[in-house]
Amino acid sequence: MKIIKLSRRTHNGIDYILIHCEYDPVFIKLARSFKGLEWSGSLSAWYIPEEKECIKEIIAHFKNKFRIDVTRLHRYKGKYDKTQPGMEYYTAGQMGPVKITIDSVKGIIVIKFLGRYDKKWISELKQYGRPYFDTVNKEWHLMASRVTIDSLTDYFRREGIKLIIKKPVKLQSTHNDRKAFSDKIRSKDLNKRTRTSIEELEQFMKEQRYSNNTLDSYISHLSMFFKYHQDKSPQEITNDDISGFMEDVVIKQAYSSSFQNQLLSAIKTYYSFHGRGKLELDKIKRPRKSKPLPQVLSKEEVTKILQSTRNIKHKLLLYIIYSCGLRRGEVTKVRLTDLNKARKTLHIRAGKGNVDRVVPVSDKVWNKLDEYLSAYSPSEYLFEGQKGGKYSVGSVYNVFCQAAKRAGIERDIGVHTLRHSYATHLHEGGLDIRYIQELLGHKSSKTTEIYTHVSRRNLLSINNPLDDLNL
């Protein structure tokens, strides 16, 4: 027997019963014989106004020829939106869900209550500024900030409300145009003298122990820069040539300020090594850097991520990253000999800036470690690939993303979010910022102080001046 599905929808204040079924001549014949039942091409369903005994009559009419699924009748449908498949139906009587859209162009976040809502939610929005209510689209607007987004996310998750978060996505066409433009430049040839000068710089950087990532980035940037100015030798390049490259390539192709900064660093390193030529390095200005606050997960969200995988290797990997505040490149370099069970510490070698540090390790990690070692028996590194050797940073990223997806976290987060969360949770727990700096391996306390801006430890103790008014 084929199945027909019944659902309910409200339109212009009238409740309708919708009947869905795959194409079937017998069903169509029965549908046409049911008084008042009409076809809607836009909904791909038959519909009829809901009246007393209506559902019983539908069931009686079709039950001998079809199985009838009535589970959707226990749900109601909001405004129909074909662009959001899977978001139309919500359990009748439940609160929410809440949709949060980040509009990076306007610099706002848009909050829309898709189902039933509590008035206290509006009061919560007012804690983060002056919300504007769009009466046409039935949505609230707030000025965008990382603190506001993270705090609202934490609030609704604590309330048990389902969240639908829409982040801005860079257009694929922009990415394709940029790639085509850069590929055209990179397809050009460098003259022998310029190529040799870049190779000499590369050898110097290796001797100075630059990281492989920095080395690869600098050489790639310089290659592209000099190919763009193919008709000039490096010693003929002027400040105006650099400005022209920034305008034609970096700005027009919408590269980030980080890309621009790294490109300038590569150029300055090259000319510091080979001589300035016609350049006035002191007059080269860097772009103003944005200072976004780090993404931070609540402890409840971290718990969901750590519990979302049953694979003992993946679970231990995530445990150690969060427990020790590791970067993903650091966790892949951990050797078995770096773990000191007697002292309950981990020795992190050659971290960012080639700095070593020692961090405490949670008892929960040691409990998982024995189980993992007996199952996988790694030979040198704590986490190894299928063919031996270090686990790749790409694999670490994939493990985290899959765990976050299974945990139902839809924000734009990466492995580094666990490190940010580790630092923020330490600060919220009362640990002095100087100790957090040491645990994270930061050279400057200014780098660590960013976590005071996302920690809620001090925010929660602030007395709002409104509370002091006799209203």
Helix (H, G, I), strand (E, B) or coil at 117: coil
d(CA 20, CA 4): 6
Name residue 409's amino acid. I
Cβ atoms of 263 and 303 within 8 Å: the answer is no
Instruction: Give the phi and the psi of residue 192 in degrees, each rounded to 5.
Output: -60, -40
Whether omega before 97 lies within 30 degrees of 0, making that bond cis, reads yes
Read off the amino acid at residue 418.
Answer: L
- The string of DSSP codes covering 159-182 is TT--EEEE-----HHHHHHHHHHH
**Number of helices and strands in the chain (H, E):** 18, 15
Contact predicate 315/170, CB 8 Å: no
Q: Which helix (H) or strand (E) holds 221?
A: helix 212-228
H/E run at residue 312: helix 312-324
Alpha carbon distance 465, 420 (integer Å) = 31
Collapsing DSSP states into helix, strand and coil, what is residue 451?
Answer: helix
Among candidates 135, 132, 142, 133, which has minimal Cα distance to 106?
142
The tokens describing 360, both together, are 């405490």
The answer to whether 178 and 250 have CB atoms below 8 angstroms apart is: no
Picking from 304, 307, 310, the residue whose alpha carbon sits closest to that of residue 409 is: 304
217/291 Cα distance (integer angstroms): 22
Active site residues: 327, 352, 416, 419, 442, 451
Q: Which two tokens stand for residue 188?
A: 């050009």
Q: Per-residue DSSP letters for 292-310? A: PPPP---HHHHHHHHHS--
- Give the residue among 426, 240, 396 at the shortest CA–CA distance from 325: 426
- Residue 237 token pair: 């390049």
Overall residue count recorded for the chain in this entry: 471
